[in-house]
Structure 1
Amino acid sequence: MASDVPMSPELEQIDGEVQDIFRALQNGFQKMDKIKDSNRQAKQLEDLTAKMKECKRLIKEFDRILKDEESNNPPEVHKQLNDRKQYMIKELNSYVTLRKTYQSSLGNNNKRVELFDMGAGSSEPAAEDNIQMASAMSNQQLMDAGREQMTQTDQAIDRSKMVVMQTIETGTQTASALTQQTEQMKRIDNELDSVHFSLKKASQLVKEIGRQVATDKCIMALLFLIVCGVIAIIVVKIVNPRNKNIRDIPGLAPPAQNFQISNRRLLSVEIFSGL
């Protein structure tokens, strides 16, 4: 199929490389019938598989560039380029089918290489990697593919329901935990208010006790001074009993009668001494 579609240089180069691979695949499969040794047939089939992988990569690159240039191309040109891509996909798919036929005839199922795998990190093929087109499938294949797709969709819906249920359960548990924590915070706040009130009362009580202690100290100091004064007066009275400054102090001056008797005795002594 000659290409008469206007292409950019990049698309034209990719298209030429794909066509070269198609010619190489055609020649390679024609040689397969001429090879009698099964080992050589297996080696030839591996080489053809590598070429098909490279062809698949080029078609993906063609599709990527086509999407990037979609806004720059008129709708008619874009449609023609897209048809060209579909042709390359369909052509490659025919060689894939032919490879599977030779592989089955060789009984090489244990060494089968998957051509269109997405790598270890992907579990589902992308839309652009779905090489086998609906136009190349029979009605039974379409029905089987539809049933398989529906089964996968149902399984995905079931998984989504399980995720939603787990999310709801987690949300309920989180809300319950938040409610408990809110109540606990309220109790802690009330306890802090009680502690603050108790500390305030304790501070007032300490101040009152301090004032009472200060008052008691003043009274004790005054009593100490009074006692010291009394002791000093007693000492002075004992040392100098004739001190007139303390004679009239209550409880310290001698009785008046005793004093008069003493004066009389002294007078009598003086009289007798004069005689």
Structure 2
Amino acid sequence: MSSELAEIEGQISDIFRALSNGFQKMDKIKDLNRRSRQLEDLTDKMRESKRLIKEFDREIKESQYKFDSETTKLLNEKKQSMIKELNSYVALKKRYASNIDNKRVDLFEGPGDGYAEENVMLASTMTNEQLMGHGNHLMDETDQAIDRATKVVHETIDVGTETAASLKAQTDQMSRIVNELDSIHFSIKKASQLVKEIGRQVATDRCIMALLVLIVIGVIAVIIVKIVNPNNKDIRDIPGLAPPAQSRRLLWHQD
């Protein structure tokens, strides 16, 4: 068997396994809608398996010259076996679909539709008092059914009212949250502006501090000079620092 035929056969086997498991689960599903969806899913798998069987047959015909007669016979028997298994699943699908349709008909017909003729025969054998009693009993059951339906309607209305109130409360809460977020955004914006202003003030203060440091340094320098030269002598009177004679005469003339 070629690799293409083996791959197709593996895919068909996987689908048949899924179909077998799916039909086994059908009896465990009680809800009609879920059973219908399950049956539709199984039907799609059967369509896919039918397509793969056709592809398997086409591959046999195209590769027939590669196989001997015995291999071709075995492949055809395999194809017939797959068709037979698929037909068994188709029959199961029809049976389950018929059961689902019958149950839906029973639900729509109601309890009195199947017993109309029997009720007529019973009414013909009843006395007037029995008929009146039976009619009153039916009216009581109808009133009780109406009361139950009314109760369900009221409960539904109450649930709807509570739901609407809850939605309104949630809407108000969302509005408050949005307002709070807007306030937080505004506060963050103001804080950013304040930080920028503080940064500018810090820069200005740094410049002022630098100037103050320079002034202090100048004052300290003056104080140091005063300490070094307490009598405020002229440089000409300091030994070792007097200018030459010629320069001294110039200074005298200037004096």
Answer whether TM exceeds 0.5 for this pair: no
| Bigger Rg over Cα | 1
Sort the TM-score into its range (normalised by shorter chain): 0.3 to 0.5
Larger helix proportion, structure 1 or 2?
2
Q: What TM-score do the two structures reach when normalised by structure 1?
A: 0.37
Q: TM-score, normalised by structure 2?
A: 0.40
